[in-house]
Amino acid sequence: MDLTLKIWRQASVDVDGKMVDYSISDVSPDMSFLEMMDMHNEQLINKGDDPVAFDHDCREGICGMCSMFINGEAHGPDRLVTTCQLHMRKFKDGDTIVIEPFRANAFPVIKDLAVDRSAFDRIQQAGGFVSVNTSGNTQDANAIPIDKHNADKAFDAATCIGCGACVASCKNASAMLFVSAKVSQYALLPQGKVEATDRVLNMVKQMDEEGFGNCTNTGACEVECPKGISLENIARMNSEYLYASLKG
Ligand code: SF4
Ligand code: FES
């Protein structure tokens, strides 16, 4: 396939960026999107040009690093896949592909398509954990019965990979889907009950301090989420928050 790429180029957060047009030839439909980007970067390097910076790590849909907004959609046109799992067979010969970074005030551009998502780390550090007694007297997890329905819901919530597509897709740049997944995975399990009140209050406080917007129930986050995280988690987080506020 021969393609035109329109890629956002920005040297750093301090300077303005712009879209730059490139042509690329002989792209195999079997390539992943990131392999196509690698091929393009090799061509830029061979010409003495600056390669396009983009994030990636596992290339297996696990790490959540590969943030790209492709033709107006986070992680591109396929559903329930990350950019690294998107394949070029989703595009046609002669297509123009517009590639931008995940845009949100709380995700400043580092360079080109790479953005700083450390705000998610700080939200997680504010409460996305359980404190475990490591003195040797820890209760065996298997000794605590957990309702199958709740175990399944907790597992589904825990599949969030922290990619930030929900923020990038939201007109308010809200992080509610991400934070609610992290709150839910503990709220549904007995091990998460001990710190439940502090967890939800602290994580929401940190989310607001980072500058993410509010949820207005548009649902774009759920559509673009590569892991199919449900809006139901936002409802659960809101009820956890209300309960914690009244208790607190
Ligand atoms: S909720 Fe979905 S889109 Fe948002 S960070 Fe988690 S995996 Fe990514
Ligand atoms: S590179 Fe890890 S999820 Fe895409």
- pLDDT per residue as tens digits for the range 229-245: 999 999 999 999 999 99
- Which positions of the chain have pLDDT values less than 70? 248
CB 97 less than 6 A from any atom of ligand 1: no
175 lines ligand 1 (CB under 6 A): no
Cα separation of the two ends of the chain: 60
Q: From atom 7 of ligand 1, which residue's Cα is the shortest distance away?
A: 160
Sign of CA dihedral 155, 161, 164, 170: negative
CB atoms within 10 A of CB 42: 11
| Residues with Cβ within 8 Å of residue 161, at least 6 apart in sequence | 61, 62, 63, 64, 82, 226, 227
Which two tokens mark 71?
């033709």
Q: 61 CB less than 6 Å from ligand 2? A: yes
Pocket lining: 35 vs ligand 2, CB cutoff 6 Å = no
72: closest CA among 99, 109, 94? 99
**Residue 155 C-alpha to ligand 1 middle, in angstroms?**
14
Report how far ligand 1's centroid is from the alpha carbon of 136 (Å).
Answer: 35
Q: Is 21 helix (H, G, I), strand (E, B) or coil?
A: strand
Query: Does ligand 2 lie within 6 Å of residue 59's CB atom?
Result: yes
What is d(CA 164, CA 150) in angstroms, rounded to the nearest whole number? 25
The ligand that comes nearest to the alpha carbon of residue 176 is: 1
227 lines ligand 1 (CB under 6 A): yes
Ligand 1 pocket, 179 CB below 6 A?
Answer: no
What's the CA gap between 239 and 114, in Å, rounded? 35
The alpha carbons of the chain give a radius of gyration, in whole angstroms, of 20
At 89-116, the pLDDT tens digits run: 999 999 999 999 999 999 999 999 999 9
pTM for this model (two decimals): 0.96
* 190 vs 71: CA distance, rounded Å: 43
Which single residue is written with the structure tokens 């590569």? 226
Number of the ligand closest to the Cα of 62: 2
For residue 62, the model assigns a pLDDT of: 97
